């Protein structure tokens, strides 16, 4: 198998893994909506496997570019060296991969927004349950010492 076929095969594998990640991201959206923590944990474990495989493939892909100067290590530049049919196939795969990555980014942003809304709701609920120090009425027996306020603080 030639290096040229390796690049096409690598791009096919990269595309398949990114499509798998996109499918997982869509499933995560549903799990977030249903508040299914167990399913989310399972999906995140699968996601890690996909990410590790993608990193490995990306490393292999970059090694195929080693003969090109660093600033020219792109799929488009690599494709210029191929025959027309292989070039077309490789560029189509690269285009599909770019579209899939863009959709994955959008889906992940949606998931992030849903998680932020969930956290805001949790904070709102906690604020309702924990009395606010400033919501006080006049009490002549009151001392200036208030018990420390305990609240859950988290950053996303």
**HEC profile for the chain?**
CCHHHHHHHHHHHHHHHHHHHHHHHHHHHHHHHHCCHHHHHHHHHHHHHHHHHHHHHHHHHHHHCCCCCHHHCCHHHHHCCCCHHHHHHHHHHHHHHHHHHHHHHHHHHHHHHHHHHHHHHHHHHHHHHCCCCCCCCCCCCCCCCCCCCCCCCCCC
Is residue 139 predicted with pLDDT exceeding 50? yes
Give CATH superfamily name and number for 3-129.
Answer: FlgN-like (1.20.58.300)
- The larger pLDDT score, comparing residue 107 to residue 2, is at 107
What's the pTM? 0.74
pLDDT at 154 over 80: no
pLDDT at 148: 58
pLDDT in tens, 37-91: 999 999 999 999 999 999 999 999 888 888 878 887 888 888 888 899 999 999 9
pLDDT, position 101: 97
> What is the average pLDDT across 80-107?
95
The domain spans of the chain are: 3-129
pLDDT of residue 130: 81
């Amino acid at each position: 198998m030639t290096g040229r076929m390796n690049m096409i095969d690598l791009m096919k594998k990269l595309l398949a893994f990114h499509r798998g990640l996109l499918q997982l991201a869509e499933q995560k959206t549903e799990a977030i909506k249903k508040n299914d923590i167990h399913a989310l944990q399972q999906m995140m474990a699968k996601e890690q496997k996909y990410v590790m495989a993608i990193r490995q493939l990306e490393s292999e892909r970059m090694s195929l570019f080693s003969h090109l100067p660093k600033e020219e290590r792109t799929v488009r530049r690599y494709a210029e060296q191929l025959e027309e049919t292989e070039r077309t196939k490789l560029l189509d795969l690269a285009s599909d991969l770019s579209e899939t990555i863009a959709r994955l980014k959008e889906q992940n942003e949606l998931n992030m927004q849903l998680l932020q809304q969930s956290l805001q709701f949790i904070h709102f609920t906690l604020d309702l349950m924990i009395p606010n120090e400033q919501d006080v009425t006049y009490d002549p027996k009151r001392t200036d010492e208030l018990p420390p306020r305990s609240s859950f603080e988290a950053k996303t």
